[in-house]
Each structure stands twice: as C-alpha cells, then as structure tokens.
C-alpha cells in the first residue's frame, strides 16, 4: 500500500499510510482511511486518488478485489486461502502472527526505581509491572532492550537516616524487617527535622546536615552505614522482583552518578544553558517555545513566570535533576541508546519535561527519543489513594501475600480435590497474575480503584479468565489425546467457513499489529483487550463448532485453531508478565 501511494504521490509521507483492522466486519477485514487526508491536503478528489492508488496496488495474492467506500476508504477482505496459508505457516512454527523488526533499536527502560530505606509500596508496583511489560513487548519485537533500575540511594534523606541509625536503631527489629525499621528511624528523625512539625528540634536538624556532609565527603563510618542500608534494601527489593518475575540488566542507583554531577553543572553553566538564579544554578526559559509549551514557565495570577529547573542548590548540593542529566548522558555514551523510556507516576511530568528540554538544548543533535511513560494512582473503594485501614501505605509484599491467599480460596472452591501444594502453586500464578493484569488493563493515565473481587473473578476481563481460557484449550487436547506439536497442516482445499471460525482466525492475524501498537504507544492495555477479545471469540467458536467430533479434515483445521489460540494467549500473557497453567 505504501509503495502504491509512493508511485502515485512521490512526495507523500508514505509511512503515515496505514492499513488497520476494520472495526466493523461488514466493511471488510482491514481498512485504510489514509488517502482522504492525503487528498484533502492536496485538494484532490479522494475517490479519484483511491482509484489511482488501487490501480497500482496488487494484493490479489492476499485479498478479494479491494473496494473503495464512502469518501475514499479502502476496504480489504482477506481471501480464505490466504488466511489458511497464514495459519499453516504459524502452525509450522514460521511465525506467531508477528514479525521481528527489521530495524532493531537500543531501548533503555528506566522503571521500578524505588528508594533505599523505604519499603516499596503500591505506587511502585505500577512502574514495575508496566515497565516490565514494555520491556517484554519490545524485546519480543526484536529490539535491544536494556532495563535499568534507577534506585534512590543518594540524597538528603541519608543525613536523617544516619542520625537515626546511630541514636535509635533497634537491631532486633532491623533483623526481623529491615525496611520497616529503617522507615521507622527515618520517620522519627525527619519528624524532628521539620520546622513545621511540633516535634521540631534544631539540634537534630544540624546533626542530620553534618552527618550528610560527612557521608558525602567519604567518612568511612557513615559510608559503611549507608552501604549497609543499600544492601538490606536491595535484598528486600530482590525478593519482590523474584516473586513478580522481574529482572533488571542494571541497577545503577543515583549514587552511581555522584562523581559526574559537578561536571554536568559546570558544562551547562559554561554553555550558558544554566544560569545563577537566586544563589542557585538553574535552567530557565530561553524564549524559544510558546509559553504554554515551555516547561520553564508557569502560569500564575494571569502571568507567565519563571519555573526554573534547579541543578545545583544554594548550599552547593546537587539534586534529582542533576543526577538525571548525568544519567541520560551515561546511557547515550555507554549504551548508545536510541530511545529512553522512563516509567513513573504522573506527578513527575514537569520534572521530565524540564529534563528533556534541558537535554535538547545541551545536545541538540542527539537523535535519541525520550519518553516519559506516566501513570495515575491506585485508589481505594472510597476514591482516595489506596491505603491500609490504619492509613498507611500498602506494602507491596503484603499485597502480594494477600493476592495469593485470596487466589487460594478461589482455587480451593473450584478444585477442592487437588493436593494443597498444587493448589498453592496455582494460587501463586493466579494471584500474582491478577494483580498485574488489574494494573495493566486500565488506561495507564487514569486512576483506578483497587478491587480484589473484580481482579480475581473468573469471568470478565481479568487474568484468571484468560488463564482459565488457556487451560480449557489445553484440556481439549488432553481429552482427545492429541499432541498439538504433532498436528499436521490442514488440507489446503478446506477453507474455514463457519463465521465463528473466521472471526477467530482473523483475530489471530492481528496479534502483531497489537504488539507493535503496545511498543509504539507504551500501552500494554491494548494487549489486554486484544487477549480478552481473543478468549471471547474462542468461546463463540467452541460453542458453535465441534472440534474433537468434527469430520476428518475439519477436525484438523479446528484443532489447529485451538492450538494457535492457546499459543497466542500464552505468548500474550507472557508479554504482560503473566504465567499460564495446564490446569486450574
């Protein structure tokens, strides 16, 4: 299609010409509306342009004669033999309805990134689950993906933590639950360091500052305490990652960049990109952008006023922004990143807009694509941020425990006869899968209400439903004693005819388009909805088309559809980081 457009309109941007699955099967299987926009901007008659492009388009091998519809839509209908050919190639293991990219890129994904000495809470779950799924999708499509956990292991909190460690540490509590104890001492001391809090104590604040300076200047005792805090935190994070099946290629925390921060500030000052601003050093608007698009301006009381991006504080300290600039450079220079994806909550939008804009001024030529993939909050039943009954942040570890516990109840009520160890194993896969899916399904930018009952339901758009659909297909093979690996190609003379067969088969063909959309728009929810639709089409097929009892020939074609559906379900869930089971 793009070649045909190029032949008719050599100067057109053919990459924008897309053929998409048709929303309404009445009109065809695929559709393109791209010609109407091309015609409009050139003042051409759209139906005439469509006819000209069609004259250059040879898709006879794949499609019935293409139709021009409405104001210039092109509607494509797949030939049944083309459909069968694609299914057979998939059956033979040549593809699973997607192609690896011909132009692999190096993509760095910065996600999870919890802070040391603080327990990971549900806020971090979204970054971890979303980032992991994007990494899986982009890897499957053939890109070189580098995952990097940018943990918060440096900064002013360590002054307070060290004071707490030296004066109030409960060793036994630290042993039992290191993150909880570190959080306790942090809260204790930070309460005394905040002039707005009733417990404020100027001497503690001074001491915290002094301990921070000693840490930063390499004092061996403070360094050792700091390292111990990192070690304890990382091993707790690791436990969670293992449960979630998440792996990182690198864990380069903020401290890794510490020695490079001064050079970053010096260079930005020398180049005039950063300037002195009220004793601090900051990047300000250079006036090159419209105020509404300029992240260095903010609208206040009817006026646009400066919104500086501070890279060195008045006291000479560096901050989150400085570290992120150094990190960005490192990823370009050492990893040759073509694209960097940052997965954090929506509250950091301004930070990343300022970071990217600063970087563009610093390295205007760098071809890297920078993306902030942000997400909304998880809410409780009351519509407020999800908390425990006593108002604390919900710990990720406890949330996963509860998911497995509740899944065990579901499994036990369905299959009480399975041995407990088997039920526990199933519950782990179902419980963790349910939490992940509930997090990936909503549009990531909207807040969603956390509901155990909804996410663990065996019906509706949930992980257990999809996992169950998978086990049902597998049981067909068990029941018929058929080995899916030994299925031959279906006879070419037997086209699929039942509407439910066709609907299912055509949906399988769209798997690749969906994966690409996930990778391009950073939205795993497209895949969730695709899989849900796939499971629904499978049910309709299975209810209307006998499989094991079908006549020879037809039986093979239908078994093939079953097997391919199972494979796409399994592969799709895997991209979401969700495991499948043989029985539930």
Query: Is residue 491 helix, strand or coil?
Result: coil
- 319 is an interface residue for ligand ARG by CB under 6 A: no
Pick the closer one to ligand ARG by CB: 237 or 342.
342
**Is the CB of residue 237 less than 8 Å from the CB of residue 114?**
yes
- 152 is an interface residue for ligand ARG by CB under 6 A: yes
- 362 is an interface residue for ligand ARG by CB under 6 A: no
Pick the closer one to ligand ARG by CB: 211 or 324.
324
Interface pattern 65-104 for ligand ARG (x via CB under 6 A): ----------------------------------------
CB of 254 to ligand ARG, least distance (A): 8
**Using CA atoms, how far apart are residues 223 and 217, in angstroms rounded to an integer?**
9
- Taking the CA atoms of 136, 139, 143 and 146 in sequence, report the sign of the dihedral they define: positive
SS3 string, 390-428, reads: CCCECEHHHHHHHHHHHHHHHHHHHCCCCCHHHHHHHHH
5-13, 23-31, 109-117, 163-171 -> range binding ligand ARG (CB under 6 A): 109-117
Pick the closer one to ligand ARG by CB: 249 or 425.
249
Pick the closer one to ligand ARG by CB: 393 or 539.
393
**Is the CB of residue 437 less than 8 Å from the CB of residue 455?**
yes
Pick the closer one to ligand ARG by CB: 332 or 573.
332
Which pair of structure tokens corresponds to residue 265? 């500030």
Count Cβ atoms within 10 A of the Cβ of residue 260 and give its class: 0-12 exposed, 13-18 middle, 19 or more buried.
middle
**Using CA atoms, how far apart are residues 355 and 341, in angstroms rounded to an integer?**
13
DSSP state of 455: H
The DSSP bridge partners found for residue 115 are: 152
Pick the closer one to ligand ARG by CB: 134 or 578.
134
Q: Identify the CA nearest to 103 among candidates 15, 167, 36, 166.
A: 15
CB of 384 to ligand ARG, least distance (A): 20
Count Cβ atoms within 10 A of the Cβ of residue 455 and give its class: 0-12 exposed, 13-18 middle, 19 or more buried.
buried
CB of 111 to ligand ARG, least distance (A): 8
Residue of 150, 395, 406, 474 that binds ligand ARG (CB under 6 A):
150
The DSSP element (H or E) to which 343 belongs, if any, is: strand 339-345
CB of 359 to ligand ARG, least distance (A): 12
CB of 234 to ligand ARG, least distance (A): 14
**Is the CB of residue 75 less than 8 Å from the CB of residue 66?**
yes
- 186 is an interface residue for ligand ARG by CB under 6 A: no
- 183 is an interface residue for ligand ARG by CB under 6 A: no
The DSSP bridge partners found for residue 378 are: 448
107-115, 361-369, 387-395, 497-505 -> range binding ligand ARG (CB under 6 A): 107-115
Pick the closer one to ligand ARG by CB: 296 or 374.
374
**Using CA atoms, how far apart are residues 384 and 166, in angstroms rounded to an integer?**
37
**Using CA atoms, how far apart are residues 138 and 142, in angstroms rounded to an integer?**
7
Pick the closer one to ligand ARG by CB: 183 or 324.
324
**Binding-residue total with ligand ARG (CB under 6 A):** 10
- 113 is an interface residue for ligand ARG by CB under 6 A: yes
Contacts of ligand ARG in 480-519 (CB under 6 A): none
CB of 139 to ligand ARG, least distance (A): 20
Count of CB atoms situated within 10 Å of the CB of 521: 12
**Is the CB of residue 547 less than 8 Å from the CB of residue 555?**
yes
Pick the closer one to ligand ARG by CB: 154 or 511.
154
The DSSP element (H or E) to which 42 belongs, if any, is: helix 34-42
Pick the closer one to ligand ARG by CB: 96 or 326.
326
Which pair of structure tokens corresponds to residue 87? 């299914």
106-114, 129-137, 404-412, 485-493 -> range binding ligand ARG (CB under 6 A): 106-114
Length reported for the chain: 584
CB of 242 to ligand ARG, least distance (A): 20
78-86, 98-106, 110-118, 444-452 -> range binding ligand ARG (CB under 6 A): 110-118
CB of 86 to ligand ARG, least distance (A): 41
- 342 is an interface residue for ligand ARG by CB under 6 A: yes
CB of 330 to ligand ARG, least distance (A): 11
Residues sharing a CB contact under 8 Å with residue 260, sequence separation 6 or more, in sequence order: 326, 329, 330
CB of 323 to ligand ARG, least distance (A): 8
Count of CB atoms situated within 10 Å of the CB of 270: 9
Q: How far is CA 181 from CA 164, 165, 171, 178, in A?
A: 10, 10, 9, 5
**Is the CB of residue 548 less than 8 Å from the CB of residue 158?**
no
- 110 is an interface residue for ligand ARG by CB under 6 A: yes
**Using CA atoms, how far apart are residues 308 and 565, in angstroms rounded to an integer?**
53
Pick the closer one to ligand ARG by CB: 204 or 354.
354
Phi, psi of 405 (to 5 degrees): -60, -50
Residue the block writes with tokens 């011909």: 102
CB of 337 to ligand ARG, least distance (A): 13
- 115 is an interface residue for ligand ARG by CB under 6 A: yes
Pick the closer one to ligand ARG by CB: 352 or 470.
352
**Using CA atoms, how far apart are residues 220 and 201, in angstroms rounded to an integer?**
27
Pick the closer one to ligand ARG by CB: 346 or 442.
346
**Is the CB of residue 282 less than 8 Å from the CB of residue 273?**
no
DSSP state of 461: S
Residue of 183, 324, 500, 501 that binds ligand ARG (CB under 6 A):
324
The DSSP bridge partners found for residue 385 are: 379
CB of 392 to ligand ARG, least distance (A): 17
Pick the closer one to ligand ARG by CB: 87 or 135.
135
Pick the closer one to ligand ARG by CB: 53 or 261.
261
Contacts of ligand ARG in 413-472 (CB under 6 A): none
CB of 355 to ligand ARG, least distance (A): 8
Q: Tell me which residues touch ligand ARG (CB under 6 A).
A: 110, 113-115, 150, 152, 324, 327, 342, 344
């Amino acid at each position: 299609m793009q070649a045909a457009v190029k032949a008719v309109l050599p100067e057109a941007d053919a990459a924008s010409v897309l053929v998409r699955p048709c929303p309404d099967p009445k009109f065809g299987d695929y559709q393109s509306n791209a010609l109407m926009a091309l015609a409009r901007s050139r003042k051409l008659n759209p139906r005439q342009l469509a006819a000209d492009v069609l004259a250059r388009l040879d898709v006879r091998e794949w499609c019935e004669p293409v139709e021009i519809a409405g104001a210039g839509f092109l509607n494509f209908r797949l030939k049944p033999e083309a459909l069968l050919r694609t299914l057979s190639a998939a059956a033979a293991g040549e593809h699973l309805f997607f192609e690896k990219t011909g132009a692999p890129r190096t993509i760095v994904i910065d996600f999870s990134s919890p802070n040391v000495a603080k327990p990971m809470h549900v806020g971090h779950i979204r970054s971890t689950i979303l980032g992991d799924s994007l990494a899986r999708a982009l890897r499957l499509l053939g890109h070189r993906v580098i995952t990097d956990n940018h943990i918060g292991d440096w900064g002013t909190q360590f002054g307070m933590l060290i004071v707490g460690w030296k004066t109030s540490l409960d060793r036994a509590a630290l042993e039992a639950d290191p993150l909880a104890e570190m959080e306790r001492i942090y809260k204790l001391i930070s309460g005394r360091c905040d002039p707005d809090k009733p417990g404020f104590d100027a001497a503690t604040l001074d001491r915290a500052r002094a301990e921070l300076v000693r840490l930063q200047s390499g004092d061996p005792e403070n360094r050792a305490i700091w390292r111990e805090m990192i070690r304890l935190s990382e091993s707790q994070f690791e436990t969670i990652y293992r449960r979630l099946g998440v792996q990182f290629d690198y864990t380069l925390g903020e401290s890794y960049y510490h020695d490079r921060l001064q050079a970053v500030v010096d260079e930005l000052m020398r180049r005039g990109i950063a300037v002195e601003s009220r004793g601090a050093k900051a990047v300000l608007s250079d006036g090159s952008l419209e105020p509404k698009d300029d992240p260095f301006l903010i609208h206040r009381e009817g006026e646009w006023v400066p919104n500086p991006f501070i890279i060195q504080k008045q006291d000479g300290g560096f901050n989150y922004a400085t570290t992120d600039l150094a990190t960005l450079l490192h990823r370009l220079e050492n990893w040759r990143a073509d694209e960097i994806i940052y997965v954090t909550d929506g509250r950091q939008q301004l930070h990343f807009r300022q970071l990217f804009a600063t970087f563009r001024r610093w390295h205007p030529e760098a071809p890297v694509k920078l993306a902030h993939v942000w997400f909304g909050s998880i809410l409780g039943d009351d519509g407020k941020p999800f908390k425990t009954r006593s108002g604390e942040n919900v710990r990720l570890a406890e949330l996963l425990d509860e998911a497995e516990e509740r899944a065990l109840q579901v499994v036990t009520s369905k299959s009480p006869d399975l041995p407990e160890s088997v039920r526990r194993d199933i519950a782990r896969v179902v419980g963790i899968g349910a939490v992940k899916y509930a997090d990936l399904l909503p549009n990531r930018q909207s807040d969603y209400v956390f509901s155990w009952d909804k996410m663990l339901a065996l019906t509706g758009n949930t992980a257990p439903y999809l996992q169950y659909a998978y086990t049902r297909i597998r049981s067909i093979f068990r029941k018929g004693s058929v080995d899916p690996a030994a299925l031959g190609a279906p006879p070419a003379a037997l086209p699929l005819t039942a509407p439910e067969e066709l609907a299912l088969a055509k949906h399988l063909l769209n798997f690749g388009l969906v994966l690409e959309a996930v990778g391009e728009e950073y939205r795993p929810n497209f895949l969730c909805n695709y899989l849900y639709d796939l499971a629904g089409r499978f049910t309709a097929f299975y209810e209307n088309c006998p499989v094991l009892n079908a006549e020879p020939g037809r039986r093979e074609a239908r078994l093939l559809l079953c097997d391919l559906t199972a494979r796409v379900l399994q592969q799709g869930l895997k991209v979401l980081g969700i495991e499948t089971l043989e029985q539930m």
